[in-house]
């Protein structure tokens, strides 16, 4: 009788533990979604690209992107002469968001009060220069377009 009870108890435990041995069917979309969730968006394999940067060496792509934006902003701002009463020597960090769709967005930032007092429309001019940038391909990670953020330093030196 005892031997029979052990067999019954063993059978009951086996039946209840079988659900742990059932293989779970995974949907392809679920696997892709899980992989995308694990993707570290801060690690960009390819930075955003302007057409002038295509064909450059891989280690030059990031600097080409930043230099293209800097040159464009410089050229745009020099079209409009700025007159100041006192010397300005300041660095402004301009936050840019490059979306996975290739749109460049100037995020909100503050200018030093001394700069605002002497160049009140500087922020507006920066926005206009960013809006007039040429098309850009978004950054990529594992061949997937991703949104990236950059902080671009703009040095203002006016005598």
Q: Which two tokens stand for residue 47?
A: 């930075």
Total domains in the chain come to 2
Which pLDDT belongs to residue 113?
87
Give a yes or no: residue 141 inside a domain.
yes
Is 60 found in the same domain as 33?
A: no
Give a yes or no: residue 117 inside a domain.
yes
Give a yes or no: residue 77 inside a domain.
yes
95 touches 150 (CB < 8 A)? yes
pTM over 0.85: no
CA distance 11 to 16: 9
| Backbone torsions φ then ψ of 105, nearest 5 degrees | -120, 130
60 touches 128 (CB < 8 A)? no
* Confidence band, pLDDT 50/70/90 cuts, at residue 40: very low
Residue with tokens 């690690």: 43
Is 62 found in the same domain as 31?
A: no
Give me the domain span that covers residue 9.
Answer: 2-38
Is 87 found in the same domain as 136?
A: yes
CA distance 137 to 61: 12
CA distance 34 to 42: 17
53-62: b or e for each residue (b if 16 or more CB lie within 10 Å)?
Answer: beeeeeeebb
Q: What is the pLDDT of residues 47-78, one digit of tens each?
A: 899 999 988 888 888 889 888 998 998 899 88
Is 98 found in the same domain as 141?
A: yes
Give a yes or no: residue 44 inside a domain.
no
Q: How many CB atoms lie within 10 A of CB 99?
A: 16
Give a yes or no: residue 134 inside a domain.
yes
Q: What is the pLDDT of residues 128-154, one digit of tens each?
A: 999 999 999 999 988 889 999 988 888
Mean pLDDT of the chain: 79
Q: What is the pLDDT of residues 79-132, one digit of tens each?
A: 888 888 888 888 888 899 999 999 999 999 888 888 888 888 889 999 999 999
Give a yes or no: residue 28 inside a domain.
yes
Is 118 found in the same domain as 80?
A: yes
């Amino acid at each position: 009788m005892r031997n029979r009870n052990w067999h019954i108890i063993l059978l009951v435990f086996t039946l209840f533990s079988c659900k742990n041995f059932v293989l779970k069917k995974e949907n392809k979309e679920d696997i892709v979604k899980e992989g995308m969730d694990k993707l570290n968006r801060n690690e960009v394999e390819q930075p955003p690209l302007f057409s002038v940067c295509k064909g450059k060496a891989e280690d030059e792509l990031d600097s080409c992107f930043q230099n293209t934006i800097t040159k464009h902003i410089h050229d745009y701002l020099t079209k409009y002469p700025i007159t100041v009463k006192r010397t300005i020597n300041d660095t402004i960090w301009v936050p840019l968001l490059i979306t996975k769709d290739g749109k460049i967005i100037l995020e909100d930032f503050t200018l030093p009060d001394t700069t605002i007092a002497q160049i009140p429309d500087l922020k507006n001019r920066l926005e206009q220069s960013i809006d007039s940038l040429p098309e850009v391909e978004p950054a990529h990670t594992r061949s997937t377009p991703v949104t990236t953020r950059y902080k671009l330093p703009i040095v203002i030196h006016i005598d």
